[in-house]
Amino acid sequence: MHLFSPLLLISLSTALLFGAPQNKQSKELNAVISTGQYSTKLLLKTLGSNMKKNMKAGGPMKALDFCSQEAYNLTEEVNLKLPNGIRVKRISLKYRNPANKPEVDEELILDSLHKLKNANVLMPKQLVQKVNATTYKYYKPLLINKKVCLKCHGNIKDTDLKRAIAQRYPIDKATHYKMGDLRGAVVVTIDTAAKAAK
């Protein structure tokens, strides 16, 4: 039985390729990677600073309020700041908000990343998928790397918090994580034709 699917091998090759100097890669590919990194950083900084502020103000319950009421809107605000043809979002196989459910191709990438993680392979910093002649998807894997994340995504002991999560997210799948687990990814969709047309 093969441990890795063909898609996983493609993903691995892509990760290795993009981790190396870009001697033979096109300027377009370099621009895609740069755009993906910038967009990802902007989203994570925006959500992270607000999450930290809410957690400090009222603990996990206040952070839950932020996630359920503001995180999606802040993501859309980030998208409005990005150039034409670029959109950023978060995805996970174990999503809490249905807005973070991956598309079919994104689900395959996440599944491949989980196989890598389960095989104790170090996560690539980034992956790039060519969707069609002018569209790319840039993926930034997200790991559980702070203990505070486990307050809402680990084995939740606070019954009030558990009840509040269930009320806001009836189909919640985003629990029972441990430190170092793969949480999901940030995906930046880049339509180079739309960018050029602006």
pLDDT for the residue numbered 16: 44
CA distance 42 to 78: 7
Q: Is residue 2 situated within a structural domain?
A: no
- DSSP annotation of 137 reads E
- Domain hosting residue 55, numbered range: 7-17+26-193
94 vs 12: CA distance, rounded Å: 22
Structure tokens at 112: 């491949």
Segments of the chain scoring below 50 in pLDDT: 1-20, 23-24
pLDDT score, position 15? 45
Tell me, yes or no, whether 198 lies in a domain.
no
Query: Is residue 78 domain-resident?
Result: yes
Residue 40 lies in a domain: yes
Angle at 77 between CA 72 and CA 81, to 5 degrees: 145
Number of domains in the chain: 1
Give the whole-angstrom CA distance, residue 182 versus residue 143. Answer: 4
Give the pLDDT confidence score for residue 183 in this predicted structure: 94
Q: 132 lies in a domain?
A: yes
pTM above 0.85, yes or no: no
Residue 173 resides in a domain: yes
pLDDT on residue 93: 96
Q: Is residue 1 part of a domain?
A: no
Amino acid at 170: P
Q: What percent of the chain has a predicted confidence (pLDDT) above 70?
A: 85
Interval 141-193: pLDDT, tens: 999 988 888 888 989 888 999 899 999 899 989 999 999 999 999 999 999 88
Asked if residue 149 is part of any domain, the answer here is yes
